[in-house]
Structure 1
Amino acid sequence: MSRLVYKQTIMTTLIKYIITILTGLIVSGMSAQSFSAKLIDAKSQESIPFATIELSKNRGVVSNEDGIFTITPDQMKYVQDSVFISSMGYERKGIWIATFTDSIVKLAPKSFELKGVFLTSNPLSAKEVIEKVKDNMTKNYDVQDVSKKKIFFRQSDFNNMKKVDFGFKKSTIEELNKELIDSIATLVPRESSYYREVVGDFYGNYNKHKFYVDKAAELYDKSKDVSVDGLSERLETIFKENVKPDSYLKIKSGLFGTKVQLDSVTANNEDAKKVQVEVEGNDEEEGHFQESIKNRISELYEQLFFNEDSKIDILTKSNRYKFDIQDYTFIDEEPVYIINFSPKGKKDFKGTAYINTNDFAIVRLEFVNVRPLFKFGLLGITYRENVYKGKMLFEKNASGSYSPRYLELENGNYFGLDRPLKVIEKNKHVKGRRKQNELSLDLNLQGTSLSKYEMVVFNSEDISDSAYDAVKENKNVKATYLSKYDPNFWQGYSIMEPNAAIQAFEVVE
């Protein structure tokens, strides 16, 4: 070997050695820190929500509603050198994490012209596309496939009392005066919010589920619950001190009334306290928290559009909806139809379905109700289920069928009560009139409540039925109470970044 060739060989080996060392340092640096960024449209500068950030096969994260995503140190180990970002209508983009320092990632809108291609081939009408979706449903959404999914679940509840007026009219019990009744009204929280977040392993299919919770948190203001207990005790004391033991209470609201023995009321209150203590003491044994989360996720699954009992009946009642092909786009590099739907007559939903042009799978669905799903109004009582909307994003798994990647459901209602209420003490053992005391109110209550459920699937793998049967749930798990949002709580765990409302949540002492 000549000296020149020998020197070149040494130099090449040295360069490879240096590259190996640097690569090792880069990888170790990547695994030691998280990576966060926000996705925006390169032209409009608007955020891009619910984009897919692919880490490796069947592993990834989803940007939140503000376009923000985070890759945790634990997830970094699955990244070879780059991650790939894709979102409907945008060019797929690769990022080499080791050299990327910006907190903003810009995606370029995808330039394409699909209409000409479809029009020159054998174009289908919107109705024909929907029929093909129904024909391919069993193949595209295998309800029997059993899997293990690493998921993040978030529940957000909001209550708003728009009006609280107990309408004090009369009381013969000195302590039950207008001042007390008005003060009770002020104790009712006008606005309250509650959040819970959970990371865990979700096992099963669309019909059977098991859930192992890794970590969970609850954010809410405890003081807005305590006041109700104190109020109940105060009222009970007043009744005990002012109402005769052998009296009974006649409770009337409008034309309707009911008779209640006072001693049974006291006994029931005591029994209720015992039951409450027993329930609280058995939370871990009963698996209340874990079971509650699993039920919420089951509800998300039940409302998937391909389930017969789903409220989203655009396929089961497709003849009562109008479908229009609006355009074409790409999702995960696959061409899709963009089909808008709206009700014919008295159906409930409008929205948009994104349907793969090759296998006719709905890969994304956005829907919102156009009228209350349920309403009731009679004798001063009003109730309306007036909000029902959500999003469903799916991805193709190794078996070729589709499974959820992101699910979101919002359910809201309005309630009102405008009725008179009388509580009358009567006693047949007292000489003279049976009526001893009376409290008369004119109730006027109005409020709204809204619940939002979100589930992100970070990775999914098929498992056998025997593996599913062997899974043990941790029913004793409890959530950690947080009085304000703490980003360090989820360090090392895969979650979807919180929105601004959650980040700003803090109990004011």
Structure 2
Amino acid sequence: MKTYLSVCAFFICICFLNAQEIVGTIKDHVTNAPIPFVAVQTAEFKGVISNEEGVFVINLKDIDSNTIELTCLGYQSLTLSTNELKNLDYNIQLTPAINELGTVYLSNTKPNVDSIISKVKNKLKTNYKSDSLSYNFFYRETSYIDFDNLNLKVNKASHFKKRQLIEANEKLNRMSNEIMNGNFVYFTDYSGNLKVMNNEQQKLNIEKATKIINSNKNISLDNIQEKAQNIVLRYLDTTKTYKLKTGLFKVEDSMSLANDDNKNDNPNELDIKNLRKNTSSTLSKSKLGSSSMLITILNTDNYQYTLKNASFINNEMVYLIEFEPKRSRAHYTGSIYVSEDSYAILKLDYRYAKGKRGDKLNLRLILGVKYIENVSEGTIIYKKNNEDFYEPRYIKIESGEYFYINRPLKFIENSTTRNKTAFNFKIEGQTRHREELLFSNISKLDTSEFNTFKENKTITFETLRKYDAKIWSDKETLAPTTELKTFDAENE
């Protein structure tokens, strides 16, 4: 009887815990397509954003007045009680907002897109504030490396035996095949607080951090070359050191296989300074500095604009304006949603226009190196706070690069005989990188609070083999995508 009661108590507890968390999906009423980036408000200044698949996660304890409000530019807002949400089986449909552009054009004052953009620019400093603020956030990073070509080979060695040369190339070939057939996806989540006095004075506090990665496939362009070099070094005289000559350059630092034994790196420990740089760089896209996307797309010399729609959203007229390059130096196309009342940009979507690229370097014929930034896109969503400033609610940035490296490497023995080993290193592929920032609270920051806070130098990540929702159950986070939920490093 005691055992039976214990089992019953266990299942009651499990049901209670599960009931505290709501997982919902939001779709378009007309197309049934998932709607990303819907604001799910649980209290006056609290809530989450649906992910790219229209999925959101909220905790029942965060819901005030037993209702949630869903808002998304381009859709009619919807308020639901928790009972209504349950009756819908947590599957919600939003109705597209009615296009009021025809009605607006029939009014006495015809909206002019250039006039709207001019007012937006004039009110930037009135609408947005970015200094002396403390940002509570959740950060998610997803990185991919796809290899199209990988060729590692010892061409000749003045002191290799034939058997050793064959054996070294077999190991290099196996390594190449494993990398080419590998699935290199890395997930990093962390939450914390970024204190920003200005662009130069910033401090970061990390509360919790996790990463999901297959440790056997922790790969980068640098350690591919390092691993290949170590295979070659094993067949050289391990009592000697070597200089590495590559193309027109010569690395004068001596190297040997024994040097690796002295490494004391903790792969789970990351430098706070680097994390602060990543977080601040993503945040800067929403601000008014030199890297701001607002400043970039509001350059009327570079871009032209088209008024596509006007809708009433939450009793507020909102203009949908599309932009595209007017000059060759402009790179982006996309859309902005502008409030008629405040002329603030509420949402910005951008991507490279057709035929446009970012930074590039093509020294393929001279040094065997080529690099092209071929993906740059993002979404920034702003929300008005209780002081009528517009602050970032959610930021997503995606980037992608093509890379090509083809160079001969030569190991030169540090001895009178100067034995040489010729080695070819050729690698080609694509990298993709997605960063997301969700802000749960943004508050004023005074100088004394900033000065007294001591920033740690490093943070230790909890390394997982697969996503664990329980770790983040007490935080406002982004719901995991299907890719993240189903990724299991043990099976990769």
Q: Deviations over 1:363-419 (max 9, x none)?
A: 110111232211111223111111111010000111111100000111111111234
- Matching residue within 45, 55, 71 for 1:58: 45
**2:234 counterpart of 1:237:** yes
Q: Residue 464 of structure 1: CA displacement?
A: 3.8
Contact 2:153 2:172 in 1 (8 A): no
Note if 1:321 corresponds to 2:303. yes
Secondary structure (helix, strand or coil) at the match of 1:337 reads: strand
Equivalent residue, structure 1, for 2:282: 300
- Per the alignment, residue 384 of structure 2 pairs with 396
C-alpha spacing 1:300/1:331, structure 2 compared with 1 (3 Å): farther
Q: Is the 8 A contact 1:37 1:69 kept in 2?
A: yes
- Superposition deviation, residue 444 in structure 1: 2.8
C-alpha separation in 2, matches of 1:459 and 1:252: 51
Question: Matched residues in 2 for 1:505 and 1:414: separation?
Answer: 25
CA RMSD in angstroms comes to 3.0
Is 2:351 the counterpart of 1:368?
A: yes
The amino acid that maps onto 2:232 is L
Amino acid at match of 2:204: F
Q: Could you tell me which residue of structure 2 aligns to residue 384 of structure 1? A: 372
Sequence identity (%): 22
Task: State the 1:130 CA deviation.
Answer: 1.5
Answer yes or no: is the 8 Å Cα contact 1:158–1:194 preserved in 2.
yes
Who is 1:18 aligned against? none
The answer to whether residue 124 in structure 2 is matched with residue 131 in structure 1 is no
Q: What's the CA shift string for 1:327-350, capped at 9, x where partnerless? A: 123455422211111112322111
Which structure has the bigger radius of gyration? 1
> How far 1:308 sits from its partner (Å)?
2.5
Query: Number of residue pairs matched?
Result: 457
Residue in structure 1 matched with residue 7 of structure 2 by the alignment: none
Q: 1:159 to 1:399 in 2, by over 3 A?
A: same
1:490/1:210 Cα in 2 relative to 1: closer, same or farther (>3 Å)? same
Q: Which residue number corresponds to residue 508 of structure 1?
A: 490
Matches within 5 A, 1:58-137: 58-76=45-63, 79-98=64-83, 100-101=85-86, 102-137=89-124
Residues 1:203 and 2:195 aligned together: yes
Displacement, 1:178?
4.1
The letter of the residue matching 2:80 is I
Structure 1's 185 and 422: CA in aligned 2 closer, same or farther, altered over 3 A?
Answer: same
Amino acid in the other structure paired with 1:56: A
SS state of the match for residue 508, structure 1? helix
Structure 2: gaps of 5 or more residues: 1-15
TM-score by structure 1 length? 0.81
Secondary structure of the structure 1 residue equivalent to 2:191:
strand
Return the alpha-carbon distance in structure 1 between the equivalents of residues 65 and 75 of structure 2: 23
> Is the alpha carbon distance of 1:56 and 1:176 closer, same or farther for their aligned partners in structure 2, counting shifts above 3 Å?
same
In the TM superposition, residue 476 of structure 1 has moved relative to its aligned partner by 5.0
Q: Residue 32 of structure 2 corresponds to which residue in structure 1?
A: 45
Counterpart-to-counterpart distance in 1, 2:429 and 2:294: 26
Instruction: Supply the distance in 2 between the matched residues of 1:368 and 1:74 (Cα, whole angstroms).
Output: 38
Q: Is the 8 A contact 1:166 1:185 kept in 2?
A: yes
Q: Any conservation in 1 of the 2:76–2:313 contact (CA below 8 Å)? A: no
Match of 1:258 among 238, 244, 250: 250
CA separation in 1, counterparts of 2:447 and 2:29? 46
Within 5 Å, give how 1:425-504 maps onto structure 2: 425=413, 429=416, 436-441=419-424, 443-473=425-455, 475-504=457-486
Q: Following TM superposition, by how much is the alpha carbon of 1:184 offset from its aligned partner in structure 2, in angstroms? A: 2.0
Residues 155 and 81 of structure 1: CA distance in aligned 2, closer, same or farther (over 3 Å):
same
Contact 1:199 1:494 in 2 (8 A): no
Whole-Å Cα distance in 1 between the matches of residues 401 and 111 of structure 2?
A: 39
Counterpart residue number, 1:16: none
d(CA) in 2 for partners of 1:363, 1:309? 18
Rounded to whole Å, the distance in 1 between the matches of 2:309 and 2:338 is: 11
Over 3 Å counting, the alpha-carbon distance change for 1:179 and 1:334 in structure 2 is farther
The one-letter amino acid paired with 1:162 is D
Q: What corresponds to 2:13 in structure 1?
A: none
2:266 aligned partner: 280
- C-alpha spacing 1:67/1:309, structure 2 compared with 1 (3 Å): closer
Q: CA deviation at 1:210?
A: 3.1
CA 1:363/1:48 → structure 2, altered by over 3 Å: closer, same or farther? same
SS at match of 1:235: helix
C-alpha displacement at 1:176, in angstroms? 5.1
Q: Does 1:339 align with 2:321?
A: yes
Contact 2:243–2:255, Cα closer than 8 Å, also in 1: no
Q: 1:483 to 1:367 in 2, by over 3 A?
A: same
Tell me the amino acid that sits aligned with residue 480 of structure 1.
E
> Structure 1: which amino acid aligns with 2:341?
N
Gap runs ≥5 in structure 1: 1-28
1:156 aligns with 2:148: no
Q: 1:415 to 1:85 in 2, by over 3 A?
A: same
Q: CA deviation at 1:479?
A: 1.6
CA distance in 1, matches of 2:72, 2:467: 29
- What CA distance in whole angstroms lies between the structure 1 residues aligned with 2:165 and 2:90? 60
| More divergent stretch after superposition (35-44 vs 289-298) | 289-298
State the one-letter code of the partner of 1:323. Y
| 1:182-216 per-position Cα deviation (integer Å, ceiling 9, x unaligned) | 42243252341111111223333663433332222
Q: CA deviation at 1:297?
A: 1.4
* Counterpart residue type for residue 292 of structure 1: N
Q: Equivalent residue of 1:291, what SS?
A: helix
Q: Distance in 2 between matches of 1:454 and 1:259?
A: 38
Other-structure match for 1:5 = none
Deviates more, 1:398-407 or 1:93-102: 93-102
Q: Distance in 1 between matches of 2:122 and 2:57?
A: 38
SS of equivalent to 2:234: helix
Which residue of the partner structure matches residue 180 of structure 1? 168
Judged with a 3 Å threshold, the aligned counterparts in structure 2 of structure 1 residues 465 and 163 are, in CA distance, closer, same or farther, namely same
One-letter amino acid of the structure 2 residue matched with residue 177 of structure 1: L
Residue 286 of structure 2 contacts residue 392 of structure 2 at CA under 8 Å; is this kept in 1? no
Q: Give the whole-Å Cα distance in 2 for the aligned partners of 1:209 and 1:417.
A: 36
Note the C-alpha offset of 1:84: 1.0
The one of 387, 394, 400 equivalent to 1:406 is 394
